[in-house]
Structure formats: C-alpha cells, structure tokens
C-alpha cells in the first residue's frame, strides 16, 4: 500500500476491519488514538504507549503552534523526532480549541484571529497555514481547519458553519502538497441531517485521504450522537477511512464501530487516569471510593496489562489518596491499554464474523455494572 492508502479487509454487518498505510507505519482499524495534545500523552512515555498497544497518537495544532512553535519542532527534525515517537501521528487542526475561545477570537471567511490563552499574543489561522504547519511538522495525517459549533445551535448557525467548513476544506485541499502527509476533511452540520448530508457531499467531492465526523459529543444526548455518527458514516465513501472525533469510552467505541467508524480519539482514558477513574470492560469505577482501600484484587482480572499483573486496587487507591504521581501514571497506562485491547479484539471479531456476539457481550457487561455503586 502507498502512503495514506486504505484497504477494507472485512465487514461484519456495518462494522469494518481495515488497514491504513501511513508514512510512519500501518494503522490497523478500528483503532483508538490516545491524545498527546502538546507532543506528550500526559503521564506516559513512548515506551508506555507502545506497551499499551497504541499504533498512533494525536497531537494538536493549536497548542503546538503556540508552544514550542514551528521553528523549534522543524529544527528538531519534525514532530516524531522531537517527541521520540516513531509510529504515526495525526494532528487536529486546532479548530475546536480556537472556537472554544469565544471571547478571544474573531471569525471570518478568510480564517480566524485569536489571542493565545498563554500570553494573550495574537495569531491568525487560515486553511492554508494550518495545513502548511502540519505538513512542516511531518505528521502522517493532517486535519483541515473547520468550524465547530456548540449544540444546540440555530439552523442559521449550522448552515453557516457547513458553508464555511466546505469553503475552508476546498482551500486546504488546494494548498495541500500531497506528500507524505495525508489530509482529512471534517463533516459538520450539528444534528441536522440535511446539513450533514450537504457537508458530506461537498467534502467527498474533494477526494481526500479520509473523512472525519466532527461536532459531536459537544452537548447532545448519547442517543443523538450515536444516531448522527451512523447517519454520517453512511454518507462517506467505503474506500476511505472514517474518523469519529472526540469519543473514548468503552461504550462509545463499541457503538462507533457498530456505526461503521474506523478511527477514534479522546482524552478520556488519560484524563480519567489522572483523576482516579478506572476503565474496565465491565464498567468504570473511582479508586478514591472507600470500598477499594482494602481491595487486594487487580483493577480488572481479565486485563493483561502490566498494572493489573503487578498492583492491587488497594495499592492504587493508596497512591491517589496520598496524591502520589505514580498512581496517575499507572492508571492512565491501564486505561489506554483497555481501549487498545478492545480495538484489537474488535478487529479479530469482525474478521472472524463474530462481531455481533462480541458487541453484545461488551454491552451486556456494561449494562450489568449500571446502577451499581462504584
């Protein structure tokens, strides 16, 4: 496969099993991407990430633009060398972060002007310079600049965001150097099916390397998110990878794969790890609860990670109660491992034609844990 070529290997119902060839290696899908916003997945080393099964990580244009900046990363030999990560990297465009700074940015069809949350300095993002920045960093997948809106949103706001996202995607595609960095566009449209269909049609015309579904998990209900993810996936070409942005619980990933999604990212496993929340296939629980102070079992008896093989819930609960940094690292490691193991097993199930049984087993495990004091 040539760089950014996608191969759909198997389907089982609507679930897909594929592989995406990228400049720094092949990505087996479905896949979860741990988030390394500022050139680091918080608390985890590159070795940790490899041990957890991470194939690819996500970094963020907005944060890297502000600190350390393009010149330092380029001088270091690119983002991979700078952070000592030799597997693929996807960079978000920074659009979500910029549009979250409502009081600090001014938006127009040319781009967005914003003030840094670090020092108040003024910066300008355009579709062209955002793509150029990501290519200069040498990442494997670059995302186009898009307009993400909060939900609920008025029909006028949704329509304008779709129009501007398509405009910016066309300009980004024209500026794209088509080298070793693949380019993905982002479908917007809120919860309006007609707007989503229009957005997808306009972006698919550009014939880019892949397509993301953005603007979800930003205030809508879970049922609305799942419905719209499935609706949008059905609008996208089957020969291109599909990426659902910003979701990362066990249930989210299972539902996303059922929708026909290939790629996912979220800060959830590491953010939860820093706050004492453990992810398991049978549900989630908080190690700060008193019930775990004398619980000498592993976090998850069915997990093969180093943390579960070595430490008990009681020890990890002690680390969090004592505010020891090791607790944050160990739990983040475990949580990322859980999601990557889930993806690996999902790939096998789709290949073997047993996806429905696997999906139902995971879903039932979470349903049994619902309502239990955790």
On whether both 257 and 277 belong to a single domain, the answer is no
Confidence at 373, pLDDT banded by 50, 70, 90: very low
Confidence at 369, pLDDT banded by 50, 70, 90: low
Confidence at 3, pLDDT banded by 50, 70, 90: low
Q: How many C-beta neighbours within 10 Å does residue 234 have?
A: 14
On whether both 208 and 290 belong to a single domain, the answer is no
On whether both 100 and 211 belong to a single domain, the answer is yes
- How do residues 63-102 score in pLDDT, each as one tens digit? 999 999 999 999 999 999 999 999 999 999 988 887 787 7
On whether both 259 and 356 belong to a single domain, the answer is no
Average pLDDT over residues 304-330: 98
Q: Which residues does 75 contact at the CB level (< 8 Å), separation at least 6?
A: none
Q: Specify the higher pLDDT residue, 3 or 288.
A: 288
Q: Which residues pair with 8 in a beta bridge?
A: 18
According to the model, what pLDDT value does residue 150 have?
84
**pLDDT reading at 224 higher than 60:** yes
On whether both 188 and 76 belong to a single domain, the answer is yes
Q: Are 175 and 216 in contact (CB under 8 A)?
A: no
Look at residue 369 and tell me if it is in a domain.
no
What sign results for the dihedral spanned by CA atoms 338, 241, 82, 68? Answer: negative
According to the model, what pLDDT value does residue 99 have?
73
On whether both 288 and 350 belong to a single domain, the answer is yes
Q: Last residue of some domain: 235, 265, 295?
A: 265
Q: Which residues pair with 35 in a beta bridge?
A: 58
| Predicted structure pTM score | 0.96
Confidence at 365, pLDDT banded by 50, 70, 90: confident
On whether both 146 and 246 belong to a single domain, the answer is yes
**pLDDT reading at 61 higher than 70:** yes
Domain count of the fold of the chain:
2
On whether both 289 and 249 belong to a single domain, the answer is no
* pLDDT, mean over the chain: 95
According to the model, what pLDDT value does residue 1 have?
45
Look at residue 1 and tell me if it is in a domain.
no
Look at residue 372 and tell me if it is in a domain.
no
According to the model, what pLDDT value does residue 265 have?
98
On whether both 205 and 277 belong to a single domain, the answer is no
- Of the given ranges (67-71, 276-280, 311-315, 367-371), which has the lowest mean pLDDT? 367-371
Look at residue 21 and tell me if it is in a domain.
yes
Average pLDDT over residues 160-164: 97
Q: Are 259 and 233 in contact (CB under 8 A)?
A: yes
Using CB atoms within 10 A of its CB, is residue 281 exposed (0-12), middle (13-18) or buried (19+)? middle
- Of the given ranges (90-104, 137-151, 181-195, 281-295), which has the lowest mean pLDDT? 90-104
Residue 251 CA to residue 234 CA, distance in Å, equals 20
**pLDDT reading at 301 higher than 90:** yes
Residue 113 CA to residue 312 CA, distance in Å, equals 49
Q: Are 213 and 187 in contact (CB under 8 A)?
A: yes
Look at residue 319 and tell me if it is in a domain.
yes
According to the model, what pLDDT value does residue 302 have?
92
On whether both 176 and 295 belong to a single domain, the answer is no
Q: Last residue of some domain: 215, 249, 265?
A: 265
Indicate which CATH number applies to the domain containing 126: 3.20.20.105
Look at residue 79 and tell me if it is in a domain.
yes
Structural domain of 182? 6-265
CA distances in angstroms from 304 to 45, 52, 333, 340, listed in the order given:
19, 10, 12, 12
On whether both 190 and 288 belong to a single domain, the answer is no
Positions marked catalytic: 92, 265
Look at residue 251 and tell me if it is in a domain.
yes
Look at residue 76 and tell me if it is in a domain.
yes
Confidence at 290, pLDDT banded by 50, 70, 90: very high
Q: Last residue of some domain: 249, 265, 281?
A: 265
Report the share of the chain in percent with pLDDT over 70. Answer: 97
Residue 85 CA to residue 4 CA, distance in Å, equals 19
**Residue for token pair 């696997």:** 358
Rounded to 5 degrees, φ, ψ at 253 are -70, -40
On whether both 196 and 220 belong to a single domain, the answer is yes
Q: Which of 9, 21, 18 is nearest to 141 (CA)?
A: 21
């Amino acid at each position: 496969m040539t760089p950014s070529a996608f191969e759909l290997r198997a389907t089982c119902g609507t679930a897909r099993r594929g592989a995406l060839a990228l400049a720094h290696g092949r990505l087996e899908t479905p896949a979860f991407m741990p988030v390394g916003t500022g050139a680091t997945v918080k608390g985890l080393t590159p070795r940790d990430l490899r041990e957890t099964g991470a194939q690819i990580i996500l970094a963020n244009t907005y944060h890297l633009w502000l600190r350390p900046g393009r010149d330092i990363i380029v001088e270091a030999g690119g983002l991979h060398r700078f952070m000592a990560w030799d597997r693929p990297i996807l960079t978000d465009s920074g659009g979500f972060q910029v549009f979250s700074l409502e009081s600090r940015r001014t938006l127009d069809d040319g781009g967005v002007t914003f003030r840094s949350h670090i020092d108040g300095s003024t910066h300008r993002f355009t579709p062209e310079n955002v793509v150029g920045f990501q290519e200069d960093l040498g990442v494997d997948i670059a995302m186009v600049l898009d307009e993400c809106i909060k939900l609920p949103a008025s029909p006028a706001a949704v329509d304008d965001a779709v129009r501007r996202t398509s405009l910016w995607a066309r300009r980004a595609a024209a500026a794209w150097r088509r080298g070793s960095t693949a380019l993905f566009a982002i479908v917007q449209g809120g919860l309006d099916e007609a707007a989503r269909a229009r957005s997808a049609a306009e972006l698919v015309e550009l014939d880019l390397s892949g397509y993301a579904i953005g603007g979800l998990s930003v205030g809508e209900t879970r049922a609305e998110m799942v419905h719209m993810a499935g609706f949008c996936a059905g609008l996208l070409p089957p020969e291109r990878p599909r990426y659902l942005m910003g979701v990362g619980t066990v249930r989210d990933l299972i539902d996303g794969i059922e929708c026909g999604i290939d790629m996912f990212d979220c800060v959830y496993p590491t953010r939860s790890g820093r706050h004492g929340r453990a992810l398991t296939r049978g549900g989630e629980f908080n190690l700060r609860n008193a019930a775990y102070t004398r619980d000498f079992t592993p976090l998850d008896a069915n997990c093969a990670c180093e943390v579960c093989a070595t430490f008990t819930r009681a020890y990890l609960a002690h680390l969090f109660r004592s505010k020891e940094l090791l607790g944050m690292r160990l739990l983040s490691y475990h949580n990322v491992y859980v999601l990557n193991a889930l993806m690996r097993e999902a790939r096998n199930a789709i290949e073997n034609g047993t996806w429905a049984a696997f999906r139902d087993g995971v879903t039932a495990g979470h349903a049994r844990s619902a309502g239990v004091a955790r």
